[in-house]
Structures are given as structure tokens and as C-alpha cells.
Structure 1
Amino acid sequence: MKIKKKILCALGILLTGLGAVGAVVPLLPAFPFLMGAMFCFARSSEKFHTWFMNSRLYKNNLESYVKQRAMTVKTKLTLMTSLTIAMSIGFFFMGQVPAGRIILAFVWLFHIVFFLFGIKTIKAERQESAPQQEC
């Protein structure tokens, strides 16, 4: 059992790193990596799970989805764009496999419909306050 927890903890750290990179790089989505990290930490280490839940990375990318089952427009667009690019690459390489292309097209369509209609959209909260006007 300890080996399983160590593997999950190491995987959580790796996924957190990939999620941090995804938060900065436009085409790499942070969301799935951070969801995976949260799952791994929840099952491996209370200390890491608490740290992760209090990190800015979690609060900026996952908190709204976990608490409200909702995402900002920016998060939805980033995920849908990344998904479309990944599916397009697979679609391109399946040129000789029409059944594979049809399956990929249905999977892509399902994901797009899910993000548009299955997940609520919330407004992004402003991080910085408006500057004070002097009279």
C-alpha cells in the first residue's frame, strides 16, 4: 500500500508540474493535469493535498469547477482549442482509417457540446482592484 501512495504522490507532483507549464503555455491545457494531480494527492498524501488545495495554481484553474461545476469562458475556450488541435492531429494521421476518423469526429463533437452546454459558464473574477480616483 505504501508503494501505491508513493507512486500516486510522484505522479501528482509530475502532473502539478505539467499543469504549471500548461498555465503559462497557451496550447497546453492546465486543467486536466491539475485535476489528475488533485486526484493523486487526495489518495496519497493529506499534506500534499492540503498544500495543493491552498495553492494559487489550484485556485486560479480548478476551484470554480470543483466548487460550482462551472468554468470561465477563457478556460472553456482554452480547453476546446487544445482538444480541437489534439483531435485534428489524430484525424490527420488517420487518413487511411475512415472508421477512426468518424469516431474521432464524434468524440470531438461530444466534447464541444459538453463544454458548451454541460458546464456552466461563470464570469471571471477580477484579481486586481480598480485604481482609486483622487478628488
Structure 2
Amino acid sequence: MKILFITLGFLFAGFGLLGVLVPILPTTPFLLLASFFFARGSTRFHIWFTGTKLYKDHLDDFIKHRSMAKKTKISLLAFASTMLMIPLITVDVWALRIFILCLMVFKYYYFIFRIKTV
């Protein structure tokens, strides 16, 4: 069972890393799942994961305080908005454009009103 948890930990850590690069994928939930599975699978892997730059940049403040620094919020929102603007401008499918706009509105709502700012 521990091998399954460790494997799932690496899988979700990979999805979380991919989520840093692709704004449509949610980074934080995948990294939270990775942390959960590493904690269940191996103390050594959990300690390693919580010491990585990926964890410290995206989850550490959120886990400790259920909040994010203003600088972190701004950088995440700016990067994600920039990446979402590319398909918004280049794609001619109106349904996809509306979906992207709804996603952007939800993203800003969530970051501004649901996550506390430190």
C-alpha cells in the first residue's frame, strides 16, 4: 500500500508542477494531494517534498496560515492571466472564449475574496 501512496504522491506532484506551467490546471490541489500521499506513504518522501522549492513557493504559507502573500497572489494571477489571454485572443470559438472569461472571473474572485492576503 505504501508503494501506491508514494506513486500517487509523485503523480500528483508532477501534475502540480505541470499546473505551475499550464494555468488551466490547479496547482495547489494537486500539491496538497501529493503532500497527503507522501505523508501516508513514507516519512522520508514527505520530508523531502515539504523541503522542495515547489512546496515552499506554492503551499507553505497556504498550509501554515491559510493565506498567501500579496506578492505571490499578484505573480500567480499575472502569469495565469497572461497564459489565458493567449487562447482568448487566438481562438475563434465563442464557447471557448466565454469559458475562458468565466474561468478568469472565478480565478480573480477566488484569489481576492476566498484566500486571505498576508
TM-score (norm 2): 0.70
Residue of structure 2 equivalent to 1:92: 89
Distance in 2, matches of 1:102 and 1:12, equals 29
**Cα distance, 1:118–1:9 mapped onto 2, change above 3 Å:** closer
Q: CA RMSD in A?
A: 3.1
> In the TM superposition, what is the alpha-carbon distance from 1:6 to its structure 2 partner?
5.0
Q: How does 1:65-84 map to 2 (within 5 A)?
A: 65-84=62-81
Percent identical pairs in the alignment equals 30
Question: Partners in 1 of 2:33 and 2:22 — Cα distance?
Answer: 20
TM-score under structure 1 length normalisation: 0.63
Unaligned runs of 5+ in 2: none
Tell me how far apart the structure 1 counterparts of residues 67 and 11 of structure 2 sit (CA, whole Å). 26
Highest Rg: 1 or 2?
1
Larger helix proportion, structure 1 or 2? Answer: 2
Shift of 1:15: 5.6
Number of paired residues? 111
1:37-48 matches, within 5 Å, as: 37-44=31-38, 45-46=41-42, 47-48=44-45
